[in-house]
Structures are given as structure tokens and as C-alpha cells.
């Protein structure tokens, strides 16, 4: 499969990062979002992130300019129909992802591969809502995409070998490393990471330690680069809750029950860095624990 043109659905945190790495690797990228403002903001962020790479001498100014020239955008989802590979990077809600694929399918070339950047939702179930389950896979990038080395490749039950092989080659061309995961709730990374974060929230909820003491303990006691509550804020507490619910619903095990405090923060709209308040308050110059 000759993959040259990439369609990215969503210009948010994950979508613009995916567009960034593909354009830098030489692919033509067409990015879409329901909002023109989101597309403009996503393109501006890609430019700033590439500038940071130039300043650190990771890439040259010429490479930055060439990458930006390879990125185009459109508010019309149907225009992604002529791309060779589509990567859906919309909100982590199955109804939204399913609606996107159903709207996109009538416009696709027969050879186009469909993928989702979902961090937890069943690939087999998403694929079944399309006309090409054999050409559908999970293509899970880590955040922030330009920095993180890993890409999880997740086969659905119907995914064929040529599709898997093609995506494996794409990951290599991006200069990243792939890990193959079976299609079970939350795959590998989040199957392990999210229960740890959830347990850290229970530790806070039960009064075992404060936000600061929990994060300090894991950073210094387990050599983690970020504490679990700091990391939850970075990921987004709504995303953490959504993944815990997928684990709890999909595996029917009480050990995956979301902590009530996590639910409460999401209900309050305290979603972490993106809302400037979560387990830390980000409105000042230095993050301040909220508990």
C-alpha cells in the first residue's frame, strides 16, 4: 500500500501533534475540524512547536518550512475522502467517533485505510460501523505526539495483514517505535496507567496523602518524571474518567471503578490544564494544589 497523503480528523491536542509528525516525515497532510478557529489554532501551534525544534537544533529552518507547506486544512470532512490514510483524533466519545466514520465512508477511495487514535474504545466495534473493517485499525499516539516515541498498533478482529504491515511501515518512517496490542479495553498503556492514576486519586480521596505528597512520593520514590495527579491534569480528567469507565464497563471488574473524587472534579468542569484547574490551579505563575 502506497501511503502518501494523510487525513487527520481533529485539530486539537492530539490531532495537531499527529499532523506535525507526519508533515515532518514527508507526508502530505490534510487536517479537518468542525471549527475553522480550531484549524487556525492547530496550525499556529504546529508552527510554534516546530520553531521550538528549530531553536533546539533538532531540525533546520528549511525542514520546518517544508513541513508547514505540506499541511493544509479544511472544515469539510468529505474532502479527506481522497487521502490514503485517515487518522481520527476526535474527542474520546464513541458516539462522536462513530458519527465521523459514518459521515466519511461514502467519500472514501476503496483503498483508503481508516484508523482511530482512541486510547480505549473497541477497534472491532468502531470498524464494524464502516464499510472496510479489514482496513481499519487502532493507531494510538502518545501525548505530546512530537516528543513521545511509542505508537500502539491495535488490530480489530477483522483487520487484515496488509493493513497492519502498512501501518507498521508508517510508524518506522515517522521514526517512532510501535507496540502491538490486542483489542481489549484501553489496550496496553492505559490499561496499566489509568488504574495507577485512579488509585492515586483514591489515595487523595481517602486522605492518605495530599496532592503534593502523592506526586512527590511517586516522582522521588518511583522515579516517575511526573506525579500521577500532575499527569492526570496534563492528560485531562475527563479523558481519564472516560477511559476508567471503558475499563469498568468492558471488563466488569470493581478494581476499575472510577474514584468518586475524579467524577466530582469532572462534574465541576475542573478538567486539568486545559481548563486551568484540576488537582492543581494553573491560574498563577506556579501550579498550586487544589487539595
Residue positions counted in the chain: 291
31 is in an annotated binding site: no
109 is in an annotated binding site: no
212 is in an annotated binding site: no
15 is in an annotated binding site: yes
Q: Identify the active-site residue in 117, 122, 178, 190.
A: 190
- The yes-or-no answer on residue 152 being catalytic is yes
Buried b (16+ CB within 10 A) or exposed e, 235-248: bbbbbbbbbbbbbb
Q: What is the DSSP string of the chain?
A: ----EEEEE--SHHHHHHHHHHHHTT-EEEEE-S-HHHHHHHHHHHHHHHHHHHHTTSS-HHHHHHHHHTEEEES-GGGGGG-SEEEE---S-HHHHHHHHHHHGGG--TT-EEEE--SSS-HHHHHTTSS-GGGEEEEEEPSSTTT--EEEEEE-TT--HHHHHHHHHHHHHHT-EEEEE-SSTTTTHHHHHHHHHHHHHHHHHTTSS-HHHHHHHHHHHS--SS-HHHHHHHH-HHHHHHHHHHHHHHH--GGGPPPHHHHHHHHHT--BGGGTBSSEE-SSSS-EE--
CA dist 242 and 145 (Å) reads 20
Q: Identify the active-site residue in 117, 152, 178, 230.
A: 152
Q: Identify the active-site residue in 119, 120, 122, 198.
A: 119
- The yes-or-no answer on residue 223 being catalytic is no
Q: Identify the active-site residue in 16, 73, 120, 140.
A: 140
135 is in an annotated binding site: no
143 is in an annotated binding site: yes
13 is in an annotated binding site: yes
- The yes-or-no answer on residue 119 being catalytic is yes
- The yes-or-no answer on residue 190 being catalytic is yes
Q: Residues forming the annotated binding site for NAD(+)? A: 10-15, 33, 92, 97, 119, 143, 274
Catalytic residues: 119, 140, 152, 190
Q: Residues forming the annotated binding site? A: 10-15, 33, 92, 97, 119, 143, 274
Amino acid at each position: 500500500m502506497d501511503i502518501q497523503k494523510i487525513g487527520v480528523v481533529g485539530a486539537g491536542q492530539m490531532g495537531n501533534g499527529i499532523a506535525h509528525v507526519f508533515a515532518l516525515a514527508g507526508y502530505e497532510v490534510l487536517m479537518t475540524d468542525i471549527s475553522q478557529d480550531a484549524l487556525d489554532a492547530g496550525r499556529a501551534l504546529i508552527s510554534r512547536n516546530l520553531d521550538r525544534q528549530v531553536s533546539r537544533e533538532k531540525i533546520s529552518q528549511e525542514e520546518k518550512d517544508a513541513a508547514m507547506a505540506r499541511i493544509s486544512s479544511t472544515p469539510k470532512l468529505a474532502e479527506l475522502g481522497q487521502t490514503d490514510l485517515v487518522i481520527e483524533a476526535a474527542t474520546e466519545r464513541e458516539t462522536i467517533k462513530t458519527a465521523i466514520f459514518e459521515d466519511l465512508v461514502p467519500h472514501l477511495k476503496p483503498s483508503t485505510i481508516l484508523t482511530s487514535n482512541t486510547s480505549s474504545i473497541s477497534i472491532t466495534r468502531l470498524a464494524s460501523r464502516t464499510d472496510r473493517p479489514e482496513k481499519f485499525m487502532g493507531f494510538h499516539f502518545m501525548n505530546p505526539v512530537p516528543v513521545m516515541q511509542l505508537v500502539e498498533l491495535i488490530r480489530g478482529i477483522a483487520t487484515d495483514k496488509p493493513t497492519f504491515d502498512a501501518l507498521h511501515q508508517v510508524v518506522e518512517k515517522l521514526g517512532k517505535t510501535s507496540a502491538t496490542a490486542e483489542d481489549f479495553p484501553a489496550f496496553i498503556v492505559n490499561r496499566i496507567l489509568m488504574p495507577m492514576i485512579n488509585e492515586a486519586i483514591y489515595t487523595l480521596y481517602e486522605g492518605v496523602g495530599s496532592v503534593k505528597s502523592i506526586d512527590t512520593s511517586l516522582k522521588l520514590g518511583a522515579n516517575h518524571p511526573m506525579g500521577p495527579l500532575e499527569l492526570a491534569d496534563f492528560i485531562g480528567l475527563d479523558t481519564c474518567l472516560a477511559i476508567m469507565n471503558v475499563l469498568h464497563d468492558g471488563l466488569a471488574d470493581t478494581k476499575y471503578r472510577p474514584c468518586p473524587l475524579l467524577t466530582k472534579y469532572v462534574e465541576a468542569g475542573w478538567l486539568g490544564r486545559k481548563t486551568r484547574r484540576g488537582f492543581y490551579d494553573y491560574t498563577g505563575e506556579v501550579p498550586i494544589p487544589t487539595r
